[in-house]
Amino acid sequence: MNASDVFVIGGGIAGLSIAWRAASRGLTVTLADPDPGSQATRASAGMLAPVSEVTYTEEPLLRLGLASLERWPEFAAELEEKSGVPVDLRSDGTVEVAYDADDLAQLDELAAFEEKLGLRVERLTGRQCRQAEPMLSPNVRGGLLARDDLWVNPRRVTQALQKAFQNAGGKIVKEHVTTLDGIEADQIVVAAGAWTPSLLPGLPVRPVKGQILRLRGPRGFLQKCVRGRVRGSDVYLVPRDDGEIVVGATMEELGFDTRVTAGGVYELLRDARELVPGITELDLAETFAGLRPGTPDNLPYVGRHGDVWVAAGHHRAGVLLAPLTAEAVVACLHGEANPMPECDPSRLDTERI
Ligand code: GLY
């Protein structure tokens, strides 16, 4: 008899969600991570924003994002009920704003693309942007309102997931797993984010550094999630219920480098201040850098890989895709078809031909 039915390696939002859902469906689950929730999920702002984050040529990712977004309200409600931890799921809408004429031209193109895909976005004048979010600068030229995008506090989510998982009978071992050899379990799930290739060497997952800041202000300083383009650079400001504003994020291809740099902090504050000048009065509470697990086609790997299951490579969408990923892996663990076939690692074979 094996020690567990399932052994999950990695306690980020993907691994924890899978572990919780698997334990809730009656499996005996052990999860290993030296410090759950301490890497990419800790850095994440928690935007559940398939509409605002839509990118040309990435319609498959959009479809997955929309499917997972639909699952988030129920996932969050059940998680809060089973853990007693509020996860601060917000549905006040996202304003996407443009700073200069070129930024506005790009945003107009994006709006046309979103409309073509049938997504619900409203175009706003500069004045309407400020009516939607009064802290926006008078220099904001115009924007879009994405009413359906949500956001959540990922740090609360990982705290809640650990409790809910343990309440469902799951076991967390605070260990760093360096080899798959000798693991006593019927099935293994590798959800180790950017570190996944250290266990599964053929899988092309790479670290994409994101520097992020936390400011502390009065509650309600921002009403909405603000995403903006400032002279061609992207920045976002995500408010929490306790007055915290998360400002992010850089995108840097520097390997396993998690240094917070003066340049990274400067660029984020410079662009964020152009959109919301009042942030200069807030406390700079935290600087942090995390490593998004990137893949060559920006889709995650979810499915069978050799002798194990994998759920990694969620890049910019780990928090958004957590409910769908958990559902998919738990279906696979029960011998059902993979509901995320476009993410099956077997696509690597085709890529290599
Ligand atoms: N999804 C936001 C980011 O990766 O920065």
pLDDT per residue as tens digits for the range 320-341:
999 999 999 999 999 999 999 9
Residue 210 CA, closest ligand 1 atom number? 5
Here the tokens at position 146 are 């994405």
Ligand 1, atom 3: nearest CA belongs to which residue?
316
Judged against a pLDDT cut of 50, whether residue 293 lies above it is answered with yes
What span, in angstroms and rounded, lies between the C-alpha atoms of 284 and 274?
17
What span, in angstroms and rounded, lies between the C-alpha atoms of 164 and 221?
32
Is residue 275 within 8 A of residue 99, CB to CB? The reply is yes
Give Rg (Cα) of the chain.
Answer: 20
Strand partners, 142: 98, 125
Q: How far is the CA of 22 from the centre of ligand 1 (A)?
A: 27
**How far, CA to CA in Å, does 119 sit from each of 48, 110, 146, 239?**
15, 11, 9, 24
Q: How far is the CA of 181 from the centre of ligand 1 (A)?
A: 34
Residue 1's pLDDT band, with cuts at 50, 70 and 90, is very low
- Beta carbons within 8 Å of 209's beta carbon, 6+ residues apart: 250, 251, 252, 253, 254, 257, 258, 289, 290, 291, 292
249 lines ligand 1 (CB under 6 A): yes
Residue 320 CA, closest ligand 1 atom number? 1
**How far, CA to CA in Å, does 271 sit from each of 17, 40, 227, 230, 351?**
34, 23, 11, 6, 38
- Which amino acid, residue 251? M
48 lines ligand 1 (CB under 6 A): no
Residue from 41, 47, 48, 61 to probe ligand 1 pocket by mutation (most atoms less than 8 Å from CB):
47
248 lines ligand 1 (CB under 6 A): yes
What pairing do the DSSP bridges indicate for beta strands 225-230 and 94-98?
parallel
Report the pLDDT value the prediction gives residue 353, as an integer from 0 to 100: 43
Ligand 1, atom 5: nearest CA belongs to which residue?
249
Ligand 1, atom 4: nearest CA belongs to which residue?
316
226-244: pLDDT as tens digits: 999 999 999 999 999 899 9
Give the residue among 54, 45, 47 at the shortest CA–CA distance from 120.
54
Helix or strand holding residue 293 (H, E): strand 283-294
Residue from 42, 48, 213, 292 to probe ligand 1 pocket by mutation (most atoms less than 8 Å from CB):
292
**How far, CA to CA in Å, does 255 sit from each of 59, 215, 293?**
27, 27, 11
240-269: pLDDT as tens digits: 989 999 999 999 999 999 999 999 999 999
How confident is the prediction for the chain on average, in pLDDT? 95
65 lines ligand 1 (CB under 6 A): no
Here the tokens at position 196 are 């996944």
**Homologous superfamily of domain range 4-86+153-204+296-352:** FAD/NAD(P)-binding domain (3.50.50.60)
Residue 316 CA, closest ligand 1 atom number? 4
37 lines ligand 1 (CB under 6 A): no
- Which amino acid, residue 31? L
For 94-147+207-294, CATH gives 3.30.9.10
Judged against a pLDDT cut of 90, whether residue 4 lies above it is answered with no
Comma-separated ranges of CATH 3.30.9.10 domains in the chain: 94-147+207-294
pTM: 0.96
Is residue 19 within 8 A of residue 171, CB to CB? The reply is no
Give the residue among 319, 66, 91, 351 at the shortest CA–CA distance from 212.
319
Q: How far is the CA of 34 from the centre of ligand 1 (A)?
A: 24
Is residue 65 within 8 A of residue 321, CB to CB? The reply is yes
Residue from 13, 39, 237, 316 to probe ligand 1 pocket by mutation (most atoms less than 8 Å from CB):
316
> What is the average pLDDT across 190-207?
97
- Beta carbons within 8 Å of 218's beta carbon, 6+ residues apart: 243
Comma-separated ranges of CATH 3.50.50.60 domains in the chain: 4-86+153-204+296-352
